[in-house]
Structures are given as structure tokens and as C-alpha cells.
Structure 1
Amino acid sequence: MRAAVRQGASVAIATGLYGISFGALSVVAGVSVPQTMALSLLLFSGGSQFALIGVVAAGGSPFAAVATATLLGVRNTLYGTVVSPLLQVRGWRRLAAAQVTIDESTAVAVGQRTPAAVRAGFWTTGIGVFVLWNAFTLLGAVAGDALGDPRAWGLDAAAGAAFLALVWPRLAARRAQVVAALAVVVSLALIPLVPAGLPVLAAAAVAIVVGLVSRPATGRPEREDGDGGRPEEAQ
């Protein structure tokens, strides 16, 4: 559990700092500070938020901005199907878990080996990112132009590096490597051809197709050596 908390906290810091970029870019795109904060508090999905202000900055209509952000946010629904059976929360905790079910909290959660570590990693990451993302969004939005171009700071690379560090240990099994390679190829091929969000969904579809094709005839999920599966799953 301590390792899960440390991992979640480090990811939360790396991701939260990137909120400065969103806040600054949002106000430069013409979105007000209150509107920028509402996006981080309520939408709370970095990819969708950047997609929305990107459309706004390009002069797109509000409908196009919302549609693009929604399409990109569909991936969080897939994350929910993964973490829901692991957390097994009810009532208001289920609503809170839905709000902080993002790339980072899901990645940290599924990387743990025990139910207690799963919960610790998920909540530490989710709440940590939520608090820091909103705090640094406000900082970036208030500072605005005084910060210059926040993309030059390399914060986007820091967040990506943290996420890659979470994913890398999961690629020990051959099938995971194949899925990752196919997902990358499909995403790169679709990025210049389709709206933002579709490449991510197509990459998820690759994993689903591979899972269906490689499912054993018995219908039971195939366990791979080195996949970091939890003992209770093997049973």
C-alpha cells in the first residue's frame, strides 16, 4: 500500500503541474478564468479539455468544441468498466470514483497486486491529480500571458513520461507488446485522418479485438506469465 501511495503521489505531481499549461492556453484562447476553472472542476479530463480549447482557439463553434471533447472523453467509460469491479464502491463513493476515473488513476490502480493497494493507488492518484490539476489550472489562468508559452517548459513531456513509466511494466508479456504495437500503429495512422478522440477509441478497439481472438476455447481468460496478475484473479 505504501508503494501504491508513493506511486500515485508522484504521478499526481507530474500530471497536476501540467494544469498550468491548460490554464494559460485556455485564457489565451479567449476562455474566461471562471469558465476555465469550471472545465477543470467539472469536466476534469485533460485530453478533452485541451481538445475543447483547441477548437475554440481555431474559431470553431461551441457545438464542435463540446462534440470533440465528448468524443475524446468516451475513453473514460472504458476505464470505468475496468476499475469498477476492482474498487467495489457504492453510493456517493461511486460518484466520487467516477469523477476521478482518468488515465492516471486507472493505470496506477491496475498496476497493483492486492485489493488494498488497488484502492490506495486509485484514490491517491485520482484525488491528488484532481486537487493539483485544479490548483495549477488556476495559477496558469491567472498568470495568463505572463507565463509565456507553457509548452516550452516541457511539462507535457513530464506527464507523458510518468504515464509511460506506469504502462511499461505491463508490457512484459508478448501479447501485451503486440497489443501496444498495434494500438500505436492504428493511432498514428488515424491521427491525420479523423477527429480527435477517434484514434484513442480505435486503439482501445485493437485491445478488444486481440482479446476476443486470443480467448481460449473454454471461455476463461488466458493468464500470461509476467503480466503482474493478482493472486485472486488466478484463482
Structure 2
Amino acid sequence: MPEQIEQTTSHGIPGPQRVPSEASPGKPEAAVIRDALGVGVAVGLSGFAFGVTSAGAGLSVLQSCLLSLFVFTGASQFALVGALGAGGNPFAAAAGAFFLGVRNSFYGLRLSGVLGYRAVVKPFAAHWIIDETSAVTFAQPDRRSARLGFTVTGLSLYVLWNLTTLAGALGAEALGDTDAWGLDAAGPAAFLALLGPMLKTTVERAAAGLAVVLMLGTFPVLPAGVPVLVSALAAPAVLMARGARSRKAPTSREESR
């Protein structure tokens, strides 16, 4: 039976998580590779949308490719070029992209124990820690399958994302008005599709809902890039409300006695 431990999610919400271990039942390599490639190819193709959007925002082909090579976190890349394309302050755009990428640090803390890589390998593996590789890795029942899933997903997605970024940036001129195609929504849509099934508790759903409200409410009045920063306040706000409610509950029970 897989070991069950108390773990903390990226929203700071504790919950039981399955830890892949060498003692867990194995999974056929072909099944792991099939699932990993399915995610890598499906999401990697959206790099074309990023290349087009980036070029439409005024970035050169080289700048677009460098973002994919060295940043390699789709939602942050789309947030950055989207804010720049809307005329936002570069610092606000970079800050919004940074805070979106911070979630990968939480994944890294969890994946460090799951994958068990040596110290010399960790800096290289860290570059591939994103939503998709984390989702595939956490779904595996043992460490061998987790490492295989992480590697295949990361490699296929990284290669395909960068190739399609180049193709999109080069083909942007042929598409004409890139805004009319709505390709800037492809990356966030893929991210939401992966995030949705992970929102299993009431607290997580409340934080996501509040983030949407904050984003939509501040988008018309704040500079481009800033609404993303404001929406990040949803998680601590919900957690504070939950903590206050938890502290109030014992007091109410004591008074009822």
C-alpha cells in the first residue's frame, strides 16, 4: 500500500498525498511513456500560440525563443507577453509572470522527495518542474515510474514547445492580426484544464473563485500585469478566513456547554 503522509499543497492546504516509493507496485513502462508523451505533445503544440502571441506583442523571434528556452513555464510566458502587448509596464509584467511561476517552487519541494535525484542532477531537473511534469509524476505509483514519467514528459514538452515557439514566431507575419485569432488564450486554457481537476476541496475552489473575481474586477481599472498580482491575494485571504473560522468553532462549542 503506498505510504500516506500529511503534505501541504501550493495553496498551503494540508492533505494526504501518495508518495511513490520503491516498495510500491510498479506500472508498465509502455503505459508511463504513453501517458507522458500524450501530455508532452498535447501541451507542447501550444508553443505555436505563444510564438505567435509573442511576436504580435512586439518581441523578436530571438527574444521569443529565449523566453521558451530559459523561462519554460507557459502561463508565465503568456502573462509576460500579454501584459507587454497591452502596453503594460515591463516591471509589472515581469512581476506578474514571476508570481505565476512561483507555484513551481512548491512543486519542486514535493518532487524532490518523490524523484530522489542526486544533488548534481537537481539543478537540471528543476528547469522541467512545471504543471504538466508534476501532474504526470505525482500520478505514478513508484519511484521508477515517477522518474520515467517526469523525464519523458519534460523532454518531449521542452523540445516540442521550443520548436513550435520558433515556428509560431516565424509564422506570425503570415497570420496577419494575431489578436483576431485569440491564440493568447491557448496557454491559459491548457493550464486551467490541468488545474481544474486538482481543485478538490472547498477551500481550493473558494481560492480559485476569488482569484477569478479579483482578476475580472481589477482588469478594467488597473494597468496590464497588475491584476495577476492582485489575484494572488485570493489564496492567503481564503486561508485567513478559514483559520478565523477554525478558531471560532472551538469557542462556540465551549459556549454551548
TM-score (norm 1): 0.75
For the aligned residue pairs, the C-alpha RMSD in angstroms reads: 3.1
Identify, as 1 or 2, the structure richer in helix: 1
Compute the displacement of 1:147 (Å). 3.2
Give secondary structure in 1 for the equivalent of 2:38.
helix
Check conservation: 2:75, 2:187, Cα contact below 8 A.
Answer: no
Q: Equivalents in 1 of 2:238, 2:116: separation in Å?
A: 27
Distance in 2, Cα, partners of 1:112 & 1:208: 33
Q: 2:100 & 2:56 partners in 1: Cα distance?
A: 22
Alignment of 1:219-230 (within 5 A): none
Match of 2:84 among 20, 33, 56: 56
The change in CA–CA distance for 1:92 and 1:147 in structure 2 (over 3 A counts) is farther
Residue number in structure 1 paired with 2:25: none
Q: Tell me the residue number matched to 2:182.
A: 151
Q: Report the residue type matching 2:150 in the other structure.
A: F
Q: Which structure dedicates a bigger proportion of its chain to strand?
A: 2
Pairs within 5 Å for 1:172-183:
176-183=200-207
1:187 and 2:187 are equivalent in the alignment: no
Structure number with larger C-alpha Rg: 2
Alignment of 1:38 with 2:70, yes or no, is no
Taking the TM superposition and a 5 Å limit, the aligned residue runs for 1:117-128 are: 117-128=145-156
C-alpha separation in 2, matches of 1:99 and 1:204:
27
Tell me how far 1:128 sits from its aligned partner: 1.3
Indicate yes or no: 2:125 matched with 1:97: yes
Q: Secondary structure at the match of 2:121?
A: helix
> Alpha-carbon deviation of 1:118?
1.2
Q: 1:66 aligns with which of 77, 94, 114?
A: 94
TM superposition score normalised by structure 2: 0.69
Distance 1:204 1:81, change over 3 A: farther
Alignment correspondent of 2:111: 83
Aligned to 1:163: 194
Inter-partner Cα distance in structure 2 for 1:72 and 1:41: 17
Q: CA deviation at 1:145?
A: 2.7
Q: How high is the sequence identity, in percent, across the aligned residues?
A: 42
Quote the residue 1:196 is aligned against: 228
